[in-house]
Amino acid sequence: MQSFHYKNNELYAENVAIRTITSKFGTPCYIYSRAQIEKNWHEFNDVFGSEPHRICYAVKANSNLAILNILAKLGSGFDIVSGGELERVLAAGGDPAKIVFSGVGKTDSEILRALEVGIFCFNVESEAELEKINQLAEKQNKIAPISLRVNPDIDARTHPYIATGLKENKFGIELSDVMPLCQKIKSLNNIKLISIGCHIGSQLTELDPFLEALDCLLDLIQKLKSAQLDLHYLNLGGGLGIAYRDETPPAISDYISAIRNKLAPSKLELILEPGRIIVANAGILVTKVEYLKHNDHKNFAIVDAGMNDLIRPVLYDAWHNIIPVSEKNGNKTHYDIVGPVCESADFFGKDRELALETGDLLAIMSSGAYGFSMSSNYNSRPRPSEVIVNGDQTHLIRKREKVDDLFALEQIIK
C-alpha cells in the first residue's frame, strides 16, 4: 500500500483522494496514513526477530489518541515527558508497564501518578530528581524502577535546538557524576536501577554519533559491573532522522543492526524511543491557496494554514516538500508559501516552483511528526482537523476546533 501518491494527477492517501477528504472536512487539515504508521513501526520492530527489546514510541511526535491506540495495538511501548502524555497513553489503551518517563522537570504529582499506575521506568536526569522519586516512592511503599539518562557530550550534528547530548544542554547527568550517583543509589531503599541510557538529539542523519554514544554507555556499564551494579537494559533514546529533502539518513535496519552488533556482547536488552521515524512520513498538512500576491521581488502564495499549525519551517529552518493536490500543466513560478499569521516568520517554504491559482490545494509533506503536536492557537486560530485513512476508509480523529473552544476557559471580570 502506497501512503501518499498520485493517481490520474490527483494526490491520494492510500485509496482515498485528498480532495474527497478536504471537501468533507475542510482545510487546513492533517491527513495521516494508517498503513504507513504500521509499516514504519513494524520495520523498526521486526528487525529484532525474537530478540527481547522494547520500542517506546516518543509520544511528543504525535500524540493523537487514535494514533497512540494504533501503536498500542501493535504492542508498542511509549516514551512520555509529562503527566498529560501519561494520561493520553492510558486513555488510548497503552500498557503502563511499557512506559518510560523522560524529561528534566517531572513534578511531584506526575511522579506520584506514574508510580500509581506502575510505569516501566523513570529516565532520571539529575540527582535531585533521583532523591525526589525515592522520597515519593517511599511514601507510597513502592520501589521505583529507574534508568539514569547520561549526557555523553556528543555532537549529534543536527539543528542546535534539537541537539540534547552536549554539555551545554540541560539534559542528562554529566559523565563524571554517573558513578558516584550509582553508588548513592545503593543507599536509596525505594529505587531500583535497571538501566542506563541517553538521547543525544533528533533528526540525526548519520550513524556515527549514535555509535559513539553507545560506546560511551558501554564503557560506563563495564565500570558499573566492577562496582557490583548489574543492569538489565540500555536505552539509546530516539533520534533517527528522515529524508525531508536530500538527507541520506541510515536505513532503519542498518541503524538497528549496527547498534545490536555493538551491544551483543553485553547481553543487555535494548530500549529505543523513536518518534519522528514512526509518524513523520505518515502525515501531510493540506492547505488551500487563498490569495496570490506579487511584488517587484517576490510572488507569494498565501495559504489558509499558518505557523501556528506547523511551526517546524521557521523554528528549525526545516524544509518540507510542498506539492499540489491536483497536478496540472501551467507556467511555474517561484513562490514563497506563507500563512495568514501576522509575523514574517509565518512561512512554509521559500522560492518553491509551482503553477498556482487561487483555490488550489497544497500538501505540505512529512508533517506527521511534530506538526499537530506543536501547534498552537496563536492569532486565535482554531487548530485544524485531523483525519486518518485506512485503505478506502476515512476517519476523523480530531475535530476542527471552533473559536468558542478557544475561549471556553476564559472569564470576563466585573
Closer by beta carbon to ligand LLP, 28 or else 249: 249
Contact flag: residue 79 with ligand LLP (CB under 6 A)? yes
Q: Applying CB under 6 A, which of residues 203, 308, 367, 375 lies at the interface with ligand LLP? A: 203
Q: How far apart are CA 102 and CA 119, in angstroms?
A: 12
Indicate whether 63 belongs to the interface with ligand LLP (CB under 6 A): no
Closest CA to 332 of 352, 347, 349, 348: 352
Residue 4 or residue 78: which is nearer to ligand LLP going by CB?
78
Closest CB 77 distance from ligand LLP, rounded Å? 12
Give the C-alpha separation, 286 to 263, whole Å.
Answer: 42
- Binding of ligand LLP at residue 383 (CB under 6 A)? no
Q: Is 165 in the site for ligand LLP (CB under 6 A)?
A: no
Q: Is 384 in the site for ligand LLP (CB under 6 A)?
A: no
| 239 lies in the site for ligand LLP, by CB under 6 A | yes
Q: 58 or 289: whose CB is closer to ligand LLP?
A: 58
Query: Which of 28, 275 has the CB closer to ligand LLP?
Result: 275
Q: Which is nearer to ligand LLP, 202 or 287 (CB)?
A: 202
> Which residue, among 50, 48, 76, has the nearest Cα to 61 in the 3D structure?
76
The stretch near ligand LLP (CB under 6 A) out of 29-37, 46-54, 138-146, 273-281 is 273-281
Q: Does 324 bind ligand LLP (CB under 6 A)?
A: no
Residue closer to ligand LLP (CB basis): 197 or 339: 197
Q: Which residues contact 279 (CB under 8 A, 6 or more apart)?
A: 32, 37, 40, 61, 62, 67, 368, 369
Residue range at the interface with ligand LLP (CB under 6 A); choices 84-92, 180-188, 268-276, 335-343: 268-276
Crossing angle between the packed helical segments 208-226 and 252-263, to the nearest 10 degrees: 20
Shortest approach of ligand LLP to residue 45 CB, angstroms?
14
Cell triple for 202: 533528533
Among residues 370, 375, 387, 389, the one that binds ligand LLP under rule CB under 6 A: 370
* Residue among 16, 47, 61, 285 that touches ligand LLP (CB under 6 A): 61
**Nearest to ligand LLP of 27, 102 (CB atom):** 102
Considering beta carbons, is residue 169 or 326 the nearer one to ligand LLP?
Answer: 169
The reply to whether 27 sits near ligand LLP by the rule CB under 6 A is no
Q: Quick check: 276 binds ligand LLP (CB under 6 A)?
A: yes
Instruction: Tell the smallest beta-carbon distance from residue 413 to ligand LLP (Å).
Output: 36
Residue 237 engages ligand LLP in binding (rule: CB under 6 A): yes
Binding segment for ligand LLP (CB under 6 A), chosen from 124-132, 272-280, 383-391, 398-406, is 272-280
Q: Does residue 82 touch ligand LLP according to CB under 6 A?
A: no
Residue 202 as a binder of ligand LLP (CB under 6 A): the answer is yes
- Choose, by CB under 6 A, the member of 11, 13, 18, 58 that binds ligand LLP: 58
Answer yes or no whether residue 285 interacts with ligand LLP by CB under 6 A: no
Assess whether 342 carries a catalytic annotation. Answer: yes
Question: How big is the site for ligand LLP, counted in residues (CB under 6 A)?
Answer: 21
| SS3 annotation, the chain | CCCEEEECCEEEECCEEHHHHHHHHCCCEEEEEHHHHHHHHHHHHHCCCCCCEEEEEEHHHCCCHHHHHHHHHHCCEEEECCHHHHHHHHHCCCCHHHEEECCCCCCHHHHHHHHHHCCCEEEECCHHHHHHHHHHHHHCCCCEEEEEEEECCCCCCCCHHHECCCCCCCCCEEHHHHHHHHHHHHCCCCEEEEEEECCCECCECCCHHHHHHHHHHHHHHHHHHHCCCCCCEEECCCCECCCCCCCCCCCHHHHHHHHHHHHHHHCCEEEECCCHHHHHHHEEEEEEEEEEEECCCCEEEEECCCCCCCCHHHHHCCCCCEEECECCCCCCEEEEEECCCCCCCCEEEEEEEECCCCCCEEEECCCCCCCHHHCCCHHHCCCCEEEEEECCEEEEEECCCCHHHHCCCCCCCC
Catalytic residue IDs: 342
Chain residues in the site for ligand LLP (CB under 6 A): 58, 61, 79, 102, 162, 199, 202-203, 237-240, 273-277, 312, 316, 370, 374
